[in-house]
A and B are shown apart, each in its own frame.
Chain A
């Protein structure tokens, strides 16, 4: 959703370039921000469907939900939550430095964000791996002897669908932030007039974080 900011050759040109169809730079940035907010609204509605599935099945199978939730690794989940919230802080700091034109710090903060994102995915991988080993898997793949209650396989259906969808969003967010980081390193042209790209990427990252903040208590702390 970054609107036309391909600076055409040379650092002499003012950045970002004003696209011909906008009245002014403020309008252009306002449009970009509004578009991003609308996009975030669609993302929330995308997850809303899964939250409704979660709510209905938790209502139908409360014991299964509690028992299945106990089988998750609360320590790893908590660590992941801390990691992701911290990464949101560094993403926000990147926007702060972009406004001040400190491009090196932008790259450092975004780099830290990416490192934490990778850490999140690695921890998630270990959690998934453990589940594949003991057989707490969705639907017909469920084979764990430890909990035998109606509705438990359904819990893991919701668990895997929600965390996998969230994981895909983490990866997309990482790609978006990586683009900003490369730009901060190579062109180093972020400044008081040109920080929309970092800002929008960071907004997306906050959404990814926010979804996890809802998923964590719903899945781990039942």
Chain B
């Protein structure tokens, strides 16, 4: 066990820090979950990519810098420490890309990865359907074989930022004879194409962060299938493992939130009491513990171990920690907590009530925490399914 950073890791950290400090926009961008904010965030993504920071762990041929997983964690710590913009490319870079590296053909990787990382082509997820949420395998969307490709029909929903994105990925039933997890195929498909209608849906915080996608006989060529016909479930599980695991939510983000909370606590010191103080300490401790937990997981991954259902343990922890931390911030702010972004007297420009609403989504997306606990019980602890 060696929990110190190596010299080269420290050099990497310095390099991240100096570039970020010199380049991060001095004023926070408007929310990336609005049309205006999204395009401003994309400009930032172009800049990140052109300097080689968009996807540090990727191979150089795709615009990465072949950083180790630990270096990636370091990058994330520095990224969130300076308060850099949220990553509107995340559904591509952090979720689709790991799946592409595992299952994609060389042609797909060459075609898709660089534009994805630069933000020239943006990606949304399209898993849920109106009647297939937690029970994803009950989905109804279909793909019909035609000459040279497939015709997609159905409805997807809760697609994050799909109202602004160019492409999406999701599961479609390709074998009508099969049921449940069998006979599904993982497709990548265009959102601006004949037969596709995208309708934005305002989220809890009022941003148009969600969208519904209606597909009516939309043509998709064969080379937009990821991982083979009728192999979709297995491929999708790789994506969800990234989403629940650490690629979506590395410790740097939560350490930065804990630091901002401590700063808030000091500014509102006259409102402090022992209970609030304990809650602030708890928030800091949770972020710290999540960091050690992640270092342990990354060591396992670096040794080539599969993380599998253990990623559910991770997801429950970070999502519930994030809610608790924001609740603590709101308790510190007191009755001013209701002042929303855009309100002249809002504390920290309304970031905490906004962040609280965002945090509340954590226990729901990427598989609700109820589903995660089922997975933990059945696949980690080995309790009977029925």
Check if A and B associate. no
Which residues of B pack against A, CB within 8 Å? none
